[in-house]
Structure 1
Amino acid sequence: MAGWEGGDGDREVRTLNPSQTNPRLRYEFDRGSGYETEIRLTTALSALIPEDELLHSDHRFFQIVHLLTEYCWVAVHHCLCDLTEALDRGDTIAAGRLLVRCADTAALTVECLRVMANSLSQVSFLRMRDNLAGAASGLASPGSRNVRRAAHAVWAAFESAAADAGATPADLVEGTAPDTAATPRIAQLADVMVGLQRFDTQVLEWKQVHLNLVWQMLGGQPRAADEEDEGAPGRPRSMRGRSISDLERLAVRPLFPKLWLQNTAVYRAMSAVAPEEEAA
């Protein structure tokens, strides 16, 4: 656990790196401040692996990036719960604001992945991976799983709100047009629909960046195969033994599939050849 040493007065101050001989390089915390107490910072920092138990020089970085991501998913999940309640009570203004927060928070998870991709080498990752717990697979993340489950509740609430307003999917699409004649209620629901897709797009971006990170660290990029790969025993696998093809499949699975089906329907309707042109 983190070290203890004398602090101001009689209070003992904790350090994350007690073996550090240079006092200026010690990370001190748990000073009893209102800030640390209010946000439970001492408890959060206590979750970090003690410095003398780190498996690799990048181990703490690896853990922190994943913890940040999981905290973000918790925040997104909490926001989705509030969003469901807002839609249930017909508060489309609050729903739109909550969706901005959902998308922006989900964007932080993408940045976490980019930081890792930009600074963690493949050699460093693979050496560290050999010593990680056997089942420490990102596919077991509770954050992304709970967000996916909450999204079902959000979509049910959204469909119910649209039905209560007497709005069809086509009405909502029309409500996004610059010159729409939609009622304020339907226009607001149309904005919520756009917000749902922006949020879903952000989550899909996280999945795509994560997949690219896996290809970077484990290999197996499907379009980079050559003749030497034809006789390979199999594609790279997760720490739970699952093929990365599972991850590739999940990387394109949206939270709100009906939204994306509507995009396709609108494109086909607006791009259809006129009957007289088809006859000609």
Structure 2
Amino acid sequence: AETGEPLSAQISFPGTELSPIVSDPQTGIYSIELDPGTYRIHCEKEGYRWKERVVSLKEKEEMIVDFALNKKPLVLITGKVIDNIDEKPIGANISIPNTEYKTISDPSTGIYKFQLPPGSYILHVEAEGYVPQDEPIIMKEGTPLVKDFRLKKIAKVGERIRLQNIYFDTGKATIRPESFPILDQVAEFLKANPKATVEIQGHTDSIGSDSYNMSLSQARAEAVRSYLITRHGIDPARLIARGYGETMPIAPNTSREGRAQNRRVEFVIIKTE
């Protein structure tokens, strides 16, 4: 109605067994032969407000029934695309398949936004090096939608995922509850890469004897392995636990900060087939 341009819309006849017809996209014209009687004529097109008219036809009567459809107001969808483990922003392609609706998230912030007509859609998100993700969404008129995405990397042999926010009870291999969320994200990564085998590496600082640190790091790696198996059903054959003690520092052990960096768990992809 706003532009006067022809539309390809579906015309149906509720309360009858007549099959719906579609108006010509070039002209907007539709036609059908009907028996005399009273009919509800329903006209609809995605992204537009539907209209109905009730008409009574006499024998041999010709009637022109036009519909001027009004577009539904667009609704804002926004959100952020980040890595599911390190939470760094991702520049991703975001689209509604088989439509012209698409955008790109800002690689420096991960934020995206665009507008859609009210309706149900599948939002497709993809970025280089990540497993594509499809998410159903429902856009309600007058209600903006916030939808965030945590993409999982495609596993590559030799890739190392370093986690320094997995916490254990002091001197023990008991995982503290505040560590569960990041381990849950690792589990999601493993589920998105079902053929990947990883080595779970436990590392310590240099406080304590070599043998003590080696034993502690092994126990902690095994605790992480057990969590992924029991809580998330990851195949045990895909998880290899190995403790390295203080033998692989990534920072000097001469400061508190350096020792904190060295106390860590790493996941190394050793096989993807």
Report the TM range for the smaller structure's normalisation: under 0.3
Q: Select the structure of larger CA radius of gyration.
A: 2
Q: TM-score, normalised by structure 2?
A: 0.24
Q: Which of the two has greater helix per residue?
A: 1
Identify the structure with bigger relative contact order (alpha carbons < 8 Å, sequence gap 6+).
1
Q: Which of the two has greater strand per residue?
A: 2
Q: TM-score, normalised by structure 1?
A: 0.24
